Structure 1
Amino acid sequence: MTRGVLLDLAGVIYDGETAIPGGVDAVARLRQAGLAVRFVSNTTRSSKQTVLQHLEALGLTVTKADVFTPAHAAREWLLRNGRAPYLLVHPGLEPDFFELPVRDKRAVVVGDAGEAFTYTVLNDAFRELNAGAELLALATNRAFRDADGALSLDAGPFVTALEYASLKRATVLGKPSPTFFLSALASMNCPPDQAIMVGDDAEADIAGALRAGISSALLVRTGKYQQGDERRFDPRPTATFADLAAAADWIIARRD
């Protein structure tokens, strides 16, 4: 029995500013079938409010409770652990870290900083780590589909560089962290063995969800998907579909 569905956003619901055909309707059909839906995104270039506004502009009815992002998880971690952030993130994400308490202890927070990934800022982050800061990775994705249609470096390679230099292991807050998936499921009171994940990233979305105990993980051939991804990482997808619309058909047909 399936009770809940987790959906990635970029590459599944939309590409850039454009909705992927059939995606918005697929979300509506999943909800009409009585399935709880949450959106789990590794976006680290846009604040949660910006993500919500984007989804609403595409015609989706969403609330803050429906959307899970690594920045929100990082903010909670910082408050819980009494650390102030040293931000190595995109300017568009900075609002999610406003008004945090001033602390003596720090944590380097790494997201997809884009053009801000310069030697100077990476070296400053390294020095923070060397001085005792913790290392938080909002995500460890290798690449993302950029506005020009080609793949570009995501945050993962830079997190790995800082780990190597500082001899510290990053705490990963977004996908593929099991905690990230499980907190989204907990919000809809859905056990992992009654949930399905749909994403375009065979490593973070699919293998990550299956390692977290989610019963099925469906890979879609949109967004960052590249030929052969379904065989590139283990565990492999439960099934692979052309897009979210086709995946939703499969989910609804098997929900009982």
Structure 2
Amino acid sequence: MAKRFHLASFLKGFRTALGFLTILPVPAAPDVNNKALAEALPWFPWAGCIVGAAAAAAAYLLSRVFSPLTASVMSAAVWALITGGLHLDGLADCCDGLLVSAPRERRLEIMKDPRLGGFGATGLFLFLLLKVAVLQTVIERSAWSVILLAAAAGRSAVYLALSQPSARPGGLGAQVRSGVSWAGILFGLIPLIGLVVWLDWPGLGAAAAGGLMCAGVLWLARNRIGGVTGDVHGMIIELVEVVVLLVYPLLLI
């Protein structure tokens, strides 16, 4: 993954990351293609921090007005809105494709189908219930900073997926992976490392649990479809986020 450093491309990657991962209006955001995504990858966790900060602010403000349950439902909606439901769509597609009993090629066809199937609908519903429940706990404990950790950890976990082959020949993963440098990845890990240091052992434990979840998803994807896809990345982000939100309050003394 060695790549010569270009400052202009590096900075342009921030706009691409924001434009791709959020619905925030980004002036002169570059077109999203393989090269642009490779430049944006180092900025994914930084963009995640912006998403997390917005979600944390929404959770805090809503909790001043509504009950923890109502605030958690509305916060989950705000979180999904900020990302345009991008990762939730990947989660639903993966539930449809990875959980069905079918050959590898058929699984990939199902994941590419824009229609929502039974596994996808059920998985999405149960996941959102879980996210609302863990957000309620976060709100009750006033653990606002873990929302930033969850958002940063989810997008940092995408770097682990770079170790896996693409499930489709010539897929996006292989083309993006070849354009990412180790220096870029280390830069991208700065927010996660900083938040873990800030949140001490509970933060480290929650981040480690998120890493285990990521490893589990990668194992499942490798065994079911032979590698990763963009949908798998979305599933990883969502599941890592919710695991971090779930585990962190449990580790608080």
TM over 0.5: same fold? no
TM-score by length of 2: 0.28
TM-score by length of 1: 0.28
Structure ranking higher in helix proportion: 2
Higher relative contact order (CA 8 A, sep 6+): 2
